[in-house]
């Protein structure tokens, strides 16, 4: 059997399931992840009926001595070989299990490309490549893409539109990106000349995008995915943006995305640092059509 903690990120747990390195997996979760674990459990029953998957609640990460005690007791009555999955969740949570393990089998997820490595000292390690698909990642946290342009996410009666979801298969990174209202309507250059009515409307629209990203973070974890809002944002939305949402702008010269805090302004235009200081190796301006 393999034991693992359930972390914020979706890719590790799913990689472990998909890899088939074990048909008996136990996921530990803390009360903070209870909702996510219930969703994953339902998904496993449907998607991996052949695999025996158990979910056990462990003490909170705030109580390390309780985790140590729990790990000792859990491992003491295991007669079979137990592999410890190291790539998911907080290290403080899984190390007590590893320390109390009588075998030294560790299981890790490595990216670029994604693969599971089983190390069983002194035997040579074993590598299993893993391919994950966006719809499985979403489904394991209870969501699906519900339209053809891929920008509407659905969970039961909940519908979220205007968010692009991308999965980087090499690195195993999930990203949710929304556009600011000014970008969506092609009005970024009017940010300093808006009427009070327009300002209010923009504020409300952008707040919807921000709250949609926040809602997704409750399912995919603040540290488990990238959350991005792209395009010009006005204050107060810009200044009160939750810390886990990145604000990105398009460079007006090369079109690359640049983090808001790295963006430079030149004659009222947004520039990425490379266009600003002219250090682009390739010509950065686009040919006129």
Least distance from C-beta 267 to Zn ion, angstroms? 14
Our measurement of the distance from residue 130's CA atom to the centroid of its chain's CA atoms, rounded to an integer in Å, reads 17
| Packed helices 34-47 and 196-220: angle between N→C axes, nearest 10 degrees | 60
- What are 118's two structure tokens? 């089983």
Helix (H) or strand (E) holding 240: none
Q: Contact with Zn ion (CB under 5 A): which of 44, 98, 263, 275?
A: 275
Least distance from C-beta 256 to Zn ion, angstroms? 5
Is the CB of 239 or the CB of 279 nearer to Zn ion?
279
- What are 41's two structure tokens? 């459990």
Is the CB of 119 or the CB of 257 nearer to Zn ion?
257
- What are 170's two structure tokens? 């090499």
Q: Contact with Zn ion (CB under 5 A): which of 254, 261, 270, 278?
A: 254
Which listed range, 27-35, 46-54, 86-94, 243-251, lies at the site for Zn ion (CB under 5 A)? 243-251
Least distance from C-beta 250 to Zn ion, angstroms? 9
Least distance from C-beta 66 to Zn ion, angstroms? 51
Q: Identify which of 120, 93, 135, 78 has the alpha carbon closest to the alpha carbon of residue 8.
A: 93
Q: Is 202 in the site for Zn ion (CB under 5 A)?
A: no
Q: Is 253 in the site for Zn ion (CB under 5 A)?
A: yes
Least distance from C-beta 248 to Zn ion, angstroms? 12
Least distance from C-beta 68 to Zn ion, angstroms? 51
Is the CB of 79 or the CB of 267 nearer to Zn ion?
267
Least distance from C-beta 272 to Zn ion, angstroms? 3
Which listed range, 109-117, 152-160, 169-177, 249-257, lies at the site for Zn ion (CB under 5 A)? 249-257
Q: Is 263 in the site for Zn ion (CB under 5 A)?
A: no
Q: Is 264 in the site for Zn ion (CB under 5 A)?
A: no
Which listed range, 136-144, 155-163, 197-205, 266-274, lies at the site for Zn ion (CB under 5 A)? 266-274
Q: Is 251 in the site for Zn ion (CB under 5 A)?
A: yes
Q: Contact with Zn ion (CB under 5 A): which of 132, 153, 182, 272?
A: 272
Q: Given the rule CB under 5 A, which residues bind Zn ion?
A: 251, 253-254, 256, 272, 275
């Amino acid at each position: 059997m393999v034991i693992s903690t359930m972390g914020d990120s979706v890719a590790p747990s799913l990689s472990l399931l998909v890899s088939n390195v074990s048909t008996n997996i136990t996921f530990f979760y803390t009360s903070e992840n209870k909702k996510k674990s219930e969703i994953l459990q339902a998904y496993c029953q449907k998607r991996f009926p052949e695999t025996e998957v158990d979910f056990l609640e462990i003490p909170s990460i705030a109580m390390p001595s309780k985790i140590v005690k729990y790990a000792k007791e859990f491992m003491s009555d295991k007669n079979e070989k137990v592999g410890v999955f190291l790539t998911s969740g907080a290290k403080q949570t899984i190390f007590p299990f590893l320390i109390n393990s009588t075998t030294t089998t560790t299981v890790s997820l490595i990216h670029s490309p994604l693969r599971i490595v089983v190390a069983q000292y002194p035997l040579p390690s074993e590598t299993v490549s893993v391919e994950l698909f966006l719809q499985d990642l979403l489904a394991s946290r209870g969501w699906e893409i519900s339209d053809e342009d891929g920008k509407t996410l659905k969970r039961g009666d909940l519908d979220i539109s205007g968010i692009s979801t991308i999965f980087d298969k090499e690195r195993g990174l999930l990203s949710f990106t929304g556009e600011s209202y000014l970008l969506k309507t092609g009005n970024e250059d009017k940010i300093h000349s808006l009427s009070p009515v327009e300002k209010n409307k923009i504020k409300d629209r952008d707040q919807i995008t921000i709250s949609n990203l926040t809602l997704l973070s409750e399912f995919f974890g603040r540290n488990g995915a990238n959350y991005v809002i792209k395009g010009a944002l006005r204050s107060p939305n810009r200044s009160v943006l939750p810390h886990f949402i990145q604000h990105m702008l398009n460079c007006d010269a090369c079109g690359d995305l640049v983090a808001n805090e790295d963006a430079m302004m030149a004659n009222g235009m947004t520039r990425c640092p490379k266009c600003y200081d002219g250090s682009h190796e390739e010509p950065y301006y686009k040919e006129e059509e």
